[in-house]
Amino acid sequence: MVKYCKFYRECKSKAVYRIPHSNLALCKDHFLANVEKRVQKLIQKSHIIRREGKNKILIALSGGKDSQVLLSIMKKSYPENIELHGLYIELGISDENYSKDSGIIAQSLCDKLNIPFYKIDVKLLNGFNIDDIHILKQIIEKNKQISKDDQIRGECSYCGLLKRYHINKFAVDNDFSVVLTGHNLTDEATSLVNNFFNIDIGFLKKPGYFIESKTKNLVSRLKPLFYISEEEIAMYAYLSNIEHLPTECPYSAQAPNIKIKKTLLEIEQYRRGNMISLLRRYYKVMQPEIKNASSAEKHLDRICALCGSPTFTKICHFCKTTENILETLKKYNI
């Protein structure tokens, strides 16, 4: 049975996609407009774009569909109101040329949209990259008599730490008003469930799509795709012909979050709209209760003695971690 667009009287078109949580069958033009409208609504709700003053916005790019779609929507929706810049973090993932290809694709879209593009190479700044960590992890896992001091976490953990630190530092150093990231509904639902499993109160009481910062050397962060599913983003990229890297990071295949994500996607097949309902209800009902019931929130009221980033202690977690990694790499001649 042929399905027509919900607004057939206006467009005279067949539907190309059905929005999961609203069950709206939409044609190409109305689907694209629907996604853009939802992104714009979240941006307006966060009040990050000021009527007066400078709106210098940094978008963290990865070359994947999420950040590529976000960049395209921002350029299309706010062609004159804001000053957009793109930043790519070169993590040195050489398997299948993943990092190299990702950076090329991210820069290509910035060039096409006439958006300034910047790249930071973590190997040059920190002395190691994710490939080095991967090699170190393999050595440690093979050596059963290894010291407990040389335990190492998964690649994704260090990848996230490196990206968060360098994105924020670049934003601070270059006077950006806010950082936008491409985290989508599927990512956020997966992360929320994982935090439930870990009973991670620190993460469970954090705000959702917008983290406003009033702390020195810490820039506010917004996730405009917070309520847009991965499936919708893939469809938007396809219909808009937005170039992106279709492959996933080779080191993420065994990450625990991937298994949780697959389970949530299976549930979504017979309970459409489950993920968006989970996030909306959690941040409206449960998150405020958890925040009120938990102990008083710590404030980043200190400055790291080594790098100047906000921290709870004398030396920030990033500096402690990078120092430990460098020492361990040297120990194993990597």
Q: What is the per-residue pLDDT across 207-264, written as a single tens digit (0 to 9) for each?
A: 889 998 888 899 999 999 999 999 999 999 999 999 999 988 888 877 778 889 999 9
Residue with the bigger pLDDT between 105 and 55: it is 105
The DSSP bridge pattern shows strands 117-121 and 83-90 to be parallel
Whether pLDDT at 104 is above 90: yes
> What six digits make up the tokens of 36?
């853009």
CA distances from residue 138 to 80, 133, 201, 306 in whole angstroms, order as listed: 49, 9, 31, 30
Domains of the chain are 31-301 (3.40.50.620)
Whether pLDDT at 146 is above 60: no
Query: What is the CB neighbour count within 10 angstroms for residue 312?
Result: 11
Q: What local confidence, expressed as pLDDT, does residue 199 receive?
A: 84
| pLDDT tens per residue, range 150-179 | 678 889 889 999 999 999 999 999 999 999
Residue 101 · residue 145 · CB < 8 Å = no
Dist. CA 8–CA 5, nearest whole Å: 5
Whether pLDDT at 1 is above 70: no
Whether pLDDT at 53 is above 90: no
CA 128-102-112 angle, 5° bins? 130
- Looking from the CA of 64 toward its CB, the CA atoms found within 13 Å total 15
Whether pLDDT at 292 is above 90: no
Query: What is the CB neighbour count within 10 angstroms for residue 287?
Result: 18
Q: Confidence band (pLDDT; 50, 70, 90) for 119?
A: very high
Q: What local confidence, expressed as pLDDT, does residue 315 receive?
A: 93
